[in-house]
Amino acid sequence: MQSIIFKGLGRYLPETRVTNEVLSQRVDTSDEWIRTRTGIGERRIAQAHETVTFMGTQAAQQALEQAGLKAEQIDLLIVATMSPEMLTPSTACLIQKHLGTRGGAFDIQAACSGFVYALDIATQMLRSGAYQHILVIGTEKLSSFIDWEDRSTCVLFGDGAGAAVLGTLAQTGVGILKNTLGADGQGAGCFEIPAGGSLRPACQQTLSNRDHYIKMNGRELFKTIVPLLEQETLRFLTAQNLTLADIDWIIPHQANVRILESLCKRLDYPMEQVFLNLEHYGNTSAASIPLALMEALEQKKVLPGQTLLLMAFGAGLTWGFSLIKWPL
User: Nearest Cα to 136, choosing from 290, 318, 308?
Assistant: 290
Examine the residue annotation and report whether 283 is marked as an active-site residue of this protein: yes
Set 190, 253, 256, 264: catalytic member: 253
Set 112, 154, 190, 264: catalytic member: 112
Backbone angles phi, psi at 121, to 5 degrees: -60, -45
Q: Residue 240 half-sphere exposure, CB side, CA atoms within 13 Å?
A: 23
Examine the residue annotation and report whether 277 is marked as an active-site residue of this protein: no
Q: Are 174 and 157 in contact (CB under 8 A)?
A: no
SS3 per-residue string spanning the chain: CCEEEEEEEEEECCCCEEEHHHHHCCCCCCHHHHHHHHCCCEEECCCCCCCHHHHHHHHHHHHHHHHCCCHHHCCEEEEECCCCCCCCCCHHHHHHHHHCCCCEEEEECCHHHHHHHHHHHHHHHHHCCCCCCEEEEEEEEHHHHCCCCCHHHHCCECEEEEEEEEEEECCCCCEEEEEEEEECHHHHHHEECCCCCCCCCCCHHHHHCCCCCCEECHHHHHHHHHHHHHHHHHHHHHHCCCCHHHCCEEEECCCCHHHHHHHHHHHCCCHHHECCCHHHHCECHHHHHHHHHHHHHHCCCCCCCCEEEEEEEECCCEEEEEEEECCC
Residue 249 to residue 70: CA distance in whole angstroms: 31
So which residues are the catalytic ones? 112, 253, 283
